[in-house]
Amino acid sequence: MKTTALIFSGQGAQVPGMGKELYDCSPAAKAVFDMAEQIRPGTLRQCFEGTKEELSVTINTQPCVFITDLAAAAAVAEKGVEPAFAAGFSLGEIAALAFAGMLSYEDAFRLVCKRAELMDKAAKENPGAMAAVMKITPEQTEEICGGFRKAYPVNYNSPAQTVVAAAEDEIDALCGKVKEMKGKAVKLAVSGAFHSPFMDSAAEAMSDYLQGVELKDPVIPVIANCTAQPYAGDYKALVAQQINHPVKWQKSVEYMIAQGVERFIEVGVGKTLTGLVKKISPDPEAINIENKEGLDALS
């Protein structure tokens, strides 16, 4: 069997009806969803019946995407898949921590609900915008950001895609600079400037919240967004810092490939991470599991 890593999708992947097929066909997935419903009544309705607009509100997005990720991972494990690594993109990292046994599922879900609340509050208090920059290198993107007062590379997604966060009054000019350098910039429909200093207050508050949460050693390595290395040292600091530090996704994937990973299974919603893996390296297999068809095809 191929050496496998589970990768957990992040905020932005949400779609109406997400997780419903997994709920209906997998007892393990159903148990995860039912746990969330007990803690946060209305979660199942939002996942299965919520509108695109409702699911786009951060305090709804994060709990719903998280629980769909974790349910999909539980369904994959139920099929007998035993991953060697786990990693998640932004919000998805919390699901990876839970799957790897660092957090109980209940504690992880409560943490995500708190994370959503804190990031929503920070976004309202420190408004910002985000854009995906393509067709130029991360180094060129860093150079462009350096020319602005408040602009930061925040998601290092692939060799040719870097997401930036910036002040609302600077994002258009930044996109113009990208175009001047023969790149392409697309503003993102997000409610805040995540993974940047705009989120400092949320990261600080999360650090305080984590004092009352137990984190155990992982049963499989979880690759941290902040370091692109396995979780080590101060686990709680890494969880808090992830909110206002860049996501080093390309390096995380490259690290896992270097450790012998031959197959990436994206669990949760959509194919965003599957696509990024293919852009980072053509070598490993990359598939996504978000419904019954994907689950049935898994071997």
Active site residues: 90, 195
Single-letter amino acid code for the residue at 263: R
The encoded tokens of residue 93 equal 């990292």
The encoded tokens of residue 294 equal 């994907």
Residue 188: partners with Cβ closer than 8 Å, 6 or more residues away = 12, 129, 130, 131, 132, 163
Longest CA pairwise span in the chain (Å): 53
Q: 239, 260 in Cβ contact below 8 A?
A: no
Give the long-range contacts of residues 206-209, CB within 8 A, separation 24 or more: 206/114, 206/115, 206/118, 206/239, 206/240, 206/243, 207/236, 207/237, 207/240, 209/111, 209/114, 209/118
Q: 148, 172 in Cβ contact below 8 A?
A: no
Residue 207: how many other CB atoms lie within 10 Å:
15
User: 3-class DSSP state for residue 98?
Assistant: helix
